[in-house]
Amino acid sequence: MTHPTLVNLRHPDCLFIGGDWVSPLSGAKLDIVSPSTERLVGCVAEAGPADMDRAVAAARQAFDTGPWPRTTGLERAAFLRAMADRLEARADDFAHAWALQVGIPLPQAQMSARLARGYFDYYAGLAAEGFEEVRTPARGGTCVVVREPVGVAAAVVPWNAPLATLLLKVAPALAAGCAIIAKPAPETPLEALLLAECAEAAGLPPGILSVVPSQREAADHLIRHEGVDKVSFTGSTAAGRHIAAVCAGRMTRVALELGGKSAAIVLDDAPIETILGGVLPTLIGLCGQQCAAFSRILVPRHRLTNITEAMAAAFQAVQVGDPFVSGTQMGPLVAKRQLERVQSFIDQGRRDGATLVTGGTRPAHLERGWFIAPTLFTRVDNSMPLAREEIFGPVGSIIAYDSEDEAVAIANDSPYGLSGGVFTQDTDRAYAIARRVRTGNFSQNGRVIDYTLPYGGFKQSGMGREGGIEGLHGFTEVKAVFLPHAPSHLITR
């Protein structure tokens, strides 16, 4: 039984290409399965390679001959603000979609959905500031440094936070003047289709945004397409390596936000309640399916017992269950394969000699759904897979250290470098440690991710930055125009 109207989709059987709702050429469908019940709850159209060709052709026409990239930033800002209004009006639908497909508790999804318009409002403000800067060359005259849109962009987004990761690409791409093709994960197509409805209602010019949910084969066809000027991808490091190699072959611009194995360094002065309040949400939010989760918890050896006991009690108190039931704090993993992956790491950790403190199995009161209890290990060595691999589940590993230098060395001993944090009441100590840890984002006493500020990783956690003005600049090319004097519209009067 299918229920495509659960999120009020107007065209569940169609793709959004060239400003029109069109049937996929193959007639294929993507099934949406609830991770809470393991039941089919809906289906939508699935794009194939030929549909990707249609989307690229529409985007190329819109970019190469249409008005959008030739409008001013101020004119584009008006469209982005209209998009923001539409997102706000559909906030309940976006929230319901996330809870239905991924299993995040509905109140958490609702809170996030209410903030979604902010992405478009923010990039509208940056677009309105313009993309031209007058500079003086060393030999005199004038140079206008212009940021022009990179062209046709492909946005390939994951299933864990499908709306936020999509908006971090679509909003700045549109602000920059690009045409963009959104390829959501097959597990979570609803947000992208809702966004297409918002674009249609806001009057976005045809072809500037297309939405093509698909499986891997069609997605690979899209990133290989010669008509695509930039690929922006969020997902696993393994997939990111493949995309980087494909793009390097034809010098396609690429931005990659990939995996992480972030460390939370607890210093000797950090209160227990601060540690719990900063670490726990990253491990149970989205059932731990977060690239920036504090999955390695580094604690002073003399505090090991105290912190382990407090964290175990907090883990055991988490209410795990149906995301639509009041009081649920953590829902299921997204799929059976993900549950099996997480369970395999837990089993490996026990074989390697780490101590399982709590969790590690399905909660006894949940017979269906891909649930697992919040899981905590102690006596973990940083060489174990528990500490080196991105598990993408609610699994925390406590690692003891004897000195601050050792803690920093452990934090840096990772192929990843996406996020991290330090827990202390001393901001000067926090900043000094932040500058020593090789990671793209770092926070004191918790984790902060803000779409108005840059986000991305070092090492195998990716390249490029999303969010902030850096996220906008990633969808532009820089051109230097040398003139005897500034053009009239740039002369300050």
- Residues with catalytic function: 257
The residue type of 304 is L
Output the CA torsion 36→38→44→45 (10° steps). Answer: 130
- Residue 227 near residue 154 (C-beta atoms within 8 A): no
